[in-house]
Amino acid sequence: MSALSSLLDAIALRPGVLGVLVLSDDGLSVAQAGNDPAADELAAVGSAALRHLAQLGKSTKQGKLQMGVVEYESGRVVIHPIRDEASLLLLVRRDVNVGTLLFELSADADALSALL
């Protein structure tokens, strides 16, 4: 198992994390924890969402996106840019303490960046 796979698997084992995906800016699935058949669709939609979030940051003069958390009825989606061309996307249960998870992801992002 590669170091990238090991790190993604470790993130996926955190309580409440339902899915972990690294996506490219052009909408391709780079790597994932598990075998989600919807990974390609998530990568494409996640990449489009990142472009819109980046534009929102420019339009509001807030700068470059550091991390995005979107809440839905059943859970959350966390998008964390890792490098200019790759981002981490997590699916998270609604009852998870997202603050703790976001803090942990900051450290994971540095490790992921080194592996990509």
- Of 1, 3, 2, 14, nearest to 90 (Cα)? 14
For the ranges 35-44, 65-74, 85-94, the lowest mean pLDDT is seen at 35-44
The residues, any chain, with a CB within 8 Å of residue 9's CB and separated by 6 or more, are: 1, 33
The arithmetic mean of pLDDT across residues 73-85, rounded, is: 92
Looking at residue 64, the DSSP 8-state letter turns out to be S
Q: Could you read off the pLDDT of 27-63 as tens digits, one per residue?
A: 999 999 977 778 999 999 999 999 999 999 999 999 9
Closest CA to 46 of 3, 93, 82: 82
- On the question of pLDDT at 17 being above 70, the answer is yes
Going from the N-terminus, what domains does the chain have, and what CATH number goes with each?
3-115 (3.30.450.30)
